Structure 1
Amino acid sequence: MELVYYKGLQDEPYTTVNIVAEQTGMNFETVRNTFYRHKKELQRFGILHHERGSIQGSGQPTKMWKLNEAQATFLITLLGNNHKVIQFKSDLVMAFYQIKSELDERKIHRQVNKVMNIGFGDVIKEHYPDSKHVYGNFHNLAYKYALGLTPKQIKEQRHTDDSQSALTADESERLERTKQQIALFIQDGNDYQAIKTKLFADI
């Protein structure tokens, strides 16, 4: 089970009260009551956000409270120190560390991508100055060849408004290599259909 989540490169990683309860083996009501009892102290570490959870019976939808790293750490300190709680503390610290490392790597790749995209966009603009849709066509082609999905499909599958930020570092690198390849093909005088044929010739 995933312990830590994030939605975009600029969003803070989070866990939830539900995950804390499940992973510590404690009763959800007990953990939730502890959360509400110390909500004021938790807010010292940042704004508390929530999403609507599933409806319990015929009642109202439950709130799924999100906790940043500091909030989660503080809440766990209030739950005692049995073996399962201690193990979860260790796992959660590691999960936050790994997510932050991944986010840092993605941000670096994104900065590189911005530089590379300038070249990609400039080549297209130079060779197709009067076409309104050609950049989008080549952009989609790069995604389709490198990742097997269009930007729209990635947004839908990964529930994001920004297909670029949803890519892993490896996916981002493959995409940029493809864009460089397409730019070279354009500079060599190939049109869209010829480039598409060349790209997919070995697949």
Structure 2
Amino acid sequence: MELVYYKGLQDEPYTTAEIIAEYTDNKYQSVSDAIRKNESDLKDFGVVRFEIAKPNQGSNGGRPRKIYHLNEQQATFLITLLDNTPKVKAFKKLLVKSFYQIKSELDERKIHRQVNKVMNIGFGDVIKEHYPESKHVYSNFHNLAYKYALGVTPKQIKEQRHTDDPQSALTSDESSRLERAKQQISLFIQDGYDYEDIKAKMFADI
């Protein structure tokens, strides 16, 4: 089980209250109570984030619960509030190593991203590298690039401009806008974002 997670290159690595509870032999409710009780102190180290987890599929009912996400400083502070048992001490060391490894990985990915940006790796190559088994993902991202850059899909361009090759029907300005959109999508893919996240980010400022 991984101890530290991150979503994209610009997002801060985090661990969860569930992980802390499991690896320190504390009840999840006790860890959550400690977070709520000390939330003002935890906020000194950043926003206290959380997600709402639904009951597992097939389980007999149960209510959704709040899963706290804690950055490195928040997690370190919270652990100091727990009884300093041998298991807690071992987890502290393991968590510090995990955060260090994740931050090193992020640094490497950021360097790799910049290299790829300079080399201008092809849009299709990036998608193929990150989604080797998906049959429809290229079409989804391809349509997204057109929709973002030009406001229409390739199919609509075919219909509007009576062509079988929408790319050849674009003006130089439209081609430039489309290429910039593809490059931006490629960077988001390399950062680890999925389609829905990328779509939301692309259209956030429109």
TM range (shorter): 0.5 to 0.7
Give 4+ residue runs of structure 1 displaced > 6 Å after superposition: none
- Does the C-alpha gap of structure 1 residues 57 and 49 become closer, same or farther in structure 2, counting only changes over 3 Å? farther
Q: Which residue of 1 aligns with 2:144?
A: none
1:54 Cα offset (Å) = 2.5
Instruction: Write out aligned runs for 1:27-176 (5 A).
Output: 27-55=27-55, 58=61, 60-117=63-120, 139-141=123-125, 143-144=127-128, 148-149=132-133, 152=137, 162-166=188-192
Partner SS state of residue 117, structure 2: helix
Q: Indicate how the Cα distance of structure 1 residues 36 and 143 shifts in structure 2: closer, same or farther if over 3 A, else same.
A: closer
TM-score normalised to structure 2 length: 0.61
Q: How far does residue 148 in structure 1 lie from its aligned partner after superposition?
A: 3.1
Identity of aligned residues (%): 50
1:29, 1:142 → 2: CA distance? 43
Deviation at 1:36, TM superposition (A): 1.0
Per-residue Cα deviation, 1:40-66 (whole angstroms, up to 9, x for no partner): 100110001111112496554111110
Contact kept, 8 Å, 2:17 with 2:69, in 1: the verdict is yes
Q: Per the alignment, in what secondary structure is the counterpart of residue 6 of structure 1?
A: coil
**Alignment partner, residue 135 of structure 1:** none
Q: Deviations over 1:158-202 (max 9, x none)?
A: xxx9321139xxxxxxxxxxxxxxxxxxxxxxxxxxxxxxxxxxx
TM-score (norm 1): 0.62
Partner of 2:20: 20
Aligned residue identity for 1:106 = R
> Whole-Å Cα distance in 2 between the matches of residues 104 and 90 of structure 1?
21
Provide closer, same or farther for how the CA distance between residues 149 and 142 of structure 1 changes in structure 2, counting only shifts above 3 A: farther
SS at match of 1:5: coil
Q: Which moved more, 1:48-57 or 1:65-74?
A: 48-57
**Offset at residue 146 of structure 1 (A):** 8.9
Q: Which amino acid aligns with 2:31?
A: V
Q: Distance in 1 between matches of 2:115 and 2:123?
A: 17
- Tell me the CA shift for residue 88 of structure 1: 0.4
| Whole-Å separation in 1 of the counterparts to 2:34 and 2:93 | 21
Q: Which runs of 5+ in 1 are unaligned?
A: 121-137, 168-203
Contact 1:14 / 1:67 at 8 angstroms: preserved in 2? yes
Tell me, in whole angstroms, the C-alpha distance in 1 between the residues paired with 2:32 and 2:117: 43
Any idea what SS the aligned residue of 2:9 has? coil
Q: Any idea what SS the aligned residue of 1:20 has? A: helix
Alpha carbons of 1:142 and 1:23: their partners in 2 closer, same or farther (altered >3 Å)? closer
SS in 2 for 1:85: helix
SS in 2 for 1:64: strand
